[in-house]
Amino acid sequence: MEKCLKKVLGFSIQTPSTEIVKIVRYKQSLVCKPCWEIKYCPYGPLVEQFPIIPPIRSEAIEHNEYLKECISTGRLQGGKKLDKNRKKFFIKCILDFKTSDYPVEISGILKEISCRIFGHICPVYFNAEPFTETKEIRRLSREIPRDVMLKVVRRDGQICQKCFKPVPDNKMEFDHLIPFSKGGTTSVDNLRLLCFDCNRKKRNLLSEILDEIPLEKHFKASK
């Protein structure tokens, strides 16, 4: 694990990468991700005070070349003239640039602890504790109560929610939309009915339910 990532996560350079991954995985088990439940970030502007995962090395190199091009042409990408102060700042960035300051890649486990909208590491990751649960305690067991199963089956009409085919009684399986391992609740609103085959194909990844870039579709719509 590169030095810059260790620094972002608050570890010393001497900390073994295996130990960091172990701690991250443990912290993930405590994160409830309330933004998924209440539909907005409860931390508001506070999220901007938390560290942000750095760009990967190839992206940093590409940006550095862009700065050089701006200085060479005297213009920004949109054609706007490069002013004196910005040119001075670009030159400083180029002189200070070191490829070793950027990771070659970002592992999946680190992507999952950062906000999909703002890019900062989620404050919940740093502060989550078991006692932060509300009085209506989240079900922490994978075991699905029978009454919850019946409600899901009735709601979904005994139809697989991926292939949309009728599911025989002996092929019915229940899937957590937000994976249990990612803090998903064992509740009616977080469960869906799947057939045996579709449930075996499903991966335990957030990309199954979240866009890689949630705001991208809005940008496309505005063009």
Is the pLDDT at 96 greater than 90? The verdict is yes
* Phi, psi dihedrals of residue 208, rounded to the nearest 5°: -70, -30
**Other C-beta atoms lying within 10 Å of the C-beta of residue 195:** 20
Summarize the confidence of residues 25-43 as an average pLDDT: 66
**Other C-beta atoms lying within 10 Å of the C-beta of residue 175:** 20
Is the pLDDT at 93 greater than 70? The verdict is yes
* Phi, psi dihedrals of residue 32, rounded to the nearest 5°: -95, -10
pLDDT band at residue 223 under the 50/70/90 scheme: very low
The predicted structure's pLDDT at residue 92: 92
Domain boundaries, the chain: 3-54+103-131, 57-100, 140-208
The predicted structure's pLDDT at residue 206: 56
Helix, strand, or coil here: 169? Answer: helix
Is the pLDDT at 52 greater than 70? The verdict is yes
The predicted structure's pLDDT at residue 49: 78
- In the numeric block, which tokens belong to residue 8? 């972002």
The predicted structure's pLDDT at residue 218: 46
Amino acid at the residue 67: L
Is the pLDDT at 79 greater than 90? The verdict is no
The predicted structure's pLDDT at residue 219: 46
Q: Nearest-CA neighbor of 117 among 218, 188, 26, 13?
A: 218
What is the chain's mean pLDDT, rounded? 78
Q: Give the Cα separation of 24 and 37 in Å (integer).
A: 22
CATH topology for 140-208? DNA Binding (I), subunit A (1.10.30)
Is the pLDDT at 132 greater than 70? The verdict is no
The residue that leads in pLDDT, 145 or 123, is 145
Which pLDDT tens digit goes with each residue over 109-119?
777 777 766 77
The predicted structure's pLDDT at residue 19: 86
- In the numeric block, which tokens belong to residue 222? 């505005």
State whether the Cα torsion 190-196-201-203 is positive or negative.
positive
**pTM score of the predicted model:** 0.49
- In the numeric block, which tokens belong to residue 196? 């045996």
Pairing of strands 172-176, 191-195: antiparallel
- In the numeric block, which tokens belong to residue 78? 């949109």
* Widest CA span in the chain: 72
